[in-house]
Amino acid sequence: MPIEGATYVGADVCKECHVEKYDDWITSGHPYKLMTPEKALEIRPGIPMPEGYTKDDILYVIGGWGWKARFMDKDGYIITKTGEDHSVDGSNQYNVTNGEWVDYNAGKEVKYNCQKCHNTGAAYDTENALPGIEVTWELDGVQCEACHGPGSEHVALGGNKSMITVDTSASLCGQCHRRGADDDKIPASEGFAKHHEQYLDFLAAGKMSVLECVDCHDPHKPVHAGATNSVEGAGIIKDCEDCHADAASSYAGSVMDIAGVKCVECHMPKTSKSAVAVSEYEADIRSHLFKINTDEDAEFTYIDAENGNEYANPYITVEYACLYCHEDKDKAWAAQNAPGSMTLQSEVVEEPAEESTMPEEKTPGFGLLSTLGMLAIGYAVRRR
Ligand code: HEC
Ligand code: HEC
Ligand code: HEC
Ligand code: HEC
Ligand code: HEC
Ligand code: HEC
Ligand code: HEC
Ligand code: HEC
């Protein structure tokens, strides 16, 4: 609950007394959600502006830290026309992972109405607004006070605890990591869930939804390897095996464990799309549904009979959990092999000495080791 009378002071002020938290936060994606072009070029050197624009024509770069960037003109509209004389519809979203320009609302007039989730202290005042921005905000990006509330009173009293909010609930994160008004509908498009839906996934995650986001996440640290962070998963404070010792021990030593496949690769595959779909069953944002439905007939997305929209079901299906690695197999194979896949042992058995085709072999088990070695190489190649 916001402290009465308090105003926003900005992360630089918080830094004076909380330098460790600040140093974590500054490497995460949150501060960089809305940046001046100068800032964007600083964290991602060489990031291009849309064709027909220089950085002096851009008021803000929207995103560009992790997946994609969109651009705002000096009137506060999102740029949707590009090219020399701005006559080309589209080519207005830059995907940072593959350097491609794609269309976002090509040619349409699009206001910047994204402030609630991309900024701190969206004030809903219209005084200093631009034509394309109906309401202004206090601070660019997701700063400390987006989660802790305005901090002027806390600062004025030298760090009084009762003058600052600490909210550990998933619904804090769910203010922004969700889409749409319905708690039980996960919007999807062309076979993938849409992005910023972690909270909706999580509500649907069956037994796992007893947790809060911060049971696994340090909210100040990054998780995605974006422009200011190179370590995937850096902000995860509890791993799967910390809570699932039994599952972890039955997985240990299995074929896929030995090949280096991690829990998240089956249970949190990239079923949501922000910028790029790498292949039919792999996009670029990890699922938070955790549960895998091994039924061959189960579909990940469905069309709602009432409104005709596409939504995701509350589980991951096997083509998404398995086939982005096993590209030469099909869904029937995945469904057949999924049950028990965590405990799958190698099929290579020791052959009796007299039947051996490699009598000169001196090291027992060499065949198995080399097979696994080959598989690991194949795996590394396929993982790009
Ligand atoms: C003048 C130094 C100072 C500044 C500036 C400051 N804090 Fe603090 N803050 C403290 C101190 C000291 C504590 C610990 C209080 C205690 O443990 O009794 C604290 C505690 C907190 C806590 C934990 C509260 C709790 O209930 O455990 C949060 C969250 C926090 N600060 C956030 C912020 C934010 C956000 C800002 C910037 C708006 C900020 N602080 C600026 C000194 C400061
Ligand atoms: C995305 C939301 C979010 C942002 C942004 C954020 N915090 Fe926090 N912070 C939390 C939550 C949730 C907790 C309590 C859970 C925890 O400790 O993991 C917390 C805990 C704290 C604490 C007290 C707990 C401790 O470990 O001592 C301090 C102090 C604090 N934050 C300061 C800051 C400062 C300073 C910033 C900006 C540089 C900041 N936070 C940015 C969500 C956030
Ligand atoms: C309900 C909150 C919410 C709204 C509204 C919202 N976004 Fe976002 N957006 C997010 C979150 C959370 C992420 C990051 C997590 C994810 O993508 O799963 C994100 C990511 C992005 C990214 C990629 C950031 C990067 O670093 O690559 C862009 C670009 C973006 N949004 C643009 C927009 C635009 C433009 C609008 C308004 C037309 C908008 N968003 C409205 C919450 C929101
Ligand atoms: C005010 C809106 C808002 C709130 C509240 C919020 N987020 Fe975010 N979050 C965003 C936006 C916007 C992005 C995309 C940032 C970017 O790409 O630059 C993001 C990105 C992220 C990312 C990916 C980037 C990274 O640093 O790895 C993680 C993880 C994340 N948020 C976790 C959380 C957690 C956990 C909470 C709750 C404690 C939370 N967020 C609360 C808006 C929010
Ligand atoms: C902080 C503890 C914690 C962590 C970390 C954790 N889990 Fe869980 N998980 C639980 C709890 C509690 C349940 C529900 C009780 C149960 O089934 O054991 C659960 C249930 C599950 C289920 C069954 C869901 C269902 O509805 O049937 C799966 C699958 C699962 N977890 C996978 C994972 C994976 C994969 C990870 C790592 C990304 C993970 N968990 C990390 C606590 C945790
Ligand atoms: C090769 C893909 C794969 C990997 C890797 C994997 N799992 Fe699973 N896991 C599955 C499938 C498929 C199911 C559901 C079918 C089943 O019961 O075998 C499942 C089921 C589970 C369940 C629910 C069991 C129950 O009875 O409700 C938990 C918990 C779980 N996994 C945790 C983990 C953890 C922790 C790891 C990492 C140590 C892990 N899994 C690694 C594929 C995988
Ligand atoms: C059971 C542990 C767990 C819980 C609970 C959890 N997460 Fe995560 N989250 C993870 C893991 C693990 C990753 C992936 C780390 C990696 O890529 O290595 C992740 C990744 C993310 C990402 C980055 C997505 C991407 O593809 O890069 C965002 C954003 C995020 N989580 C937000 C949330 C929010 C918001 C909540 C609560 C609604 C939440 N998480 C709850 C474990 C968890
Ligand atoms: C991150 C990549 C990855 C994911 C996801 C994955 N696997 Fe695997 N899997 C491997 C690797 C690497 C091996 C080692 C042998 C190989 O290359 O085929 C393997 C081996 C196997 C094998 C034994 C060898 C064979 O091809 O018959 C089976 C069966 C199998 N996986 C089934 C599954 C199923 C079912 C799923 C989904 C529940 C799954 N895998 C998810 C990478 C993956």
Domain boundary, last residue among 132, 153, 168: 168
Q: Are residues 135 and 252 in the same domain?
A: no
Contacts of 335 (CB under 8 A, 6+ apart): 294, 295, 296, 318
Q: Are residues 46 and 76 in the same domain?
A: yes
| 111 within a domain of the structure (yes/no) | yes
Range with the poorest average pLDDT among 33-42, 225-234, 288-297, 364-373: 364-373
Give the model confidence (pLDDT) of 305-327 as tens digits.
Answer: 999 999 999 999 999 999 999 99
| 140 within a domain of the structure (yes/no) | yes
- The predicted pLDDT at position 126 comes to 73
Q: Are residues 39 and 180 in the same domain?
A: no
CA of 267 to the centre of ligand 5 (A): 10
Q: Which residues line ligand 4 (CB under 6 A)?
A: 28-30, 32-33, 63, 65-66, 117-118, 142, 146-147, 172-173, 175-177, 213-214, 217, 219, 222-224
* pLDDT classification of 354: cutoffs 50, 70, 90: low
* pLDDT classification of 59: cutoffs 50, 70, 90: very high
Which ligand lies nearest the alpha carbon of 147? 2
Q: Which tokens go with 12?
A: 């630089």
Q: Which domain holds residue 131?
A: 11-168
Contacts of 99 (CB under 8 A, 6+ apart): none
Which ligand lies nearest the alpha carbon of 375? 8
- Ligand 7 within 6 A of 213 CB? yes
SS3 309: coil
Which ligand lies nearest the alpha carbon of 287? 7
Domain count, the chain: 3
| 5 within a domain of the structure (yes/no) | no
| 106 within a domain of the structure (yes/no) | yes
| 3 within a domain of the structure (yes/no) | no
| 4 within a domain of the structure (yes/no) | no
User: What is d(CA 137, CA 124) in angstroms, rounded to the nearest whole number?
Assistant: 7
Q: Are residues 152 and 199 in the same domain?
A: no
| 348 within a domain of the structure (yes/no) | no
Burial of 166 (0-12, 13-18, 19+ CB in 10 A): exposed
Domain boundary, last residue among 127, 150, 168: 168
Q: Are residues 161 and 231 in the same domain?
A: no
- The predicted pLDDT at position 374 comes to 45
Q: Are residues 179 and 311 in the same domain?
A: yes
Give the model confidence (pLDDT) of 118-160 as tens digits.
Answer: 999 988 777 778 999 988 999 999 999 999 999 999 999 999 9
Domain boundary, last residue among 168, 183, 218: 168
Give the model confidence (pLDDT) of 355-371 as tens digits.
Answer: 444 444 434 444 444 44
| 265 within a domain of the structure (yes/no) | yes
Q: Are residues 65 and 201 in the same domain?
A: no
Q: Are residues 216 and 290 in the same domain?
A: yes
The mean pLDDT value for 263-275 works out to 98
Q: Are residues 311 and 360 in the same domain?
A: no
Alpha-helix residue ranges (DSSP H) falling in 119-278? 144-148, 152-156, 170-174, 198-203, 213-216, 240-243, 245-251, 255-258, 263-267
Q: Are residues 333 and 284 in the same domain?
A: yes
Q: Are residues 160 and 184 in the same domain?
A: no
Give the model confidence (pLDDT) of 79-90 as tens digits.
Answer: 999 999 999 999
pTM of the model: 0.94
Is the pLDDT confidence value at 4 over 90?
no
User: What is d(CA 26, CA 44) in angstroms, rounded to the nearest whole number?
Assistant: 14
- The predicted pLDDT at position 346 comes to 81
Q: Are residues 18 and 138 in the same domain?
A: yes
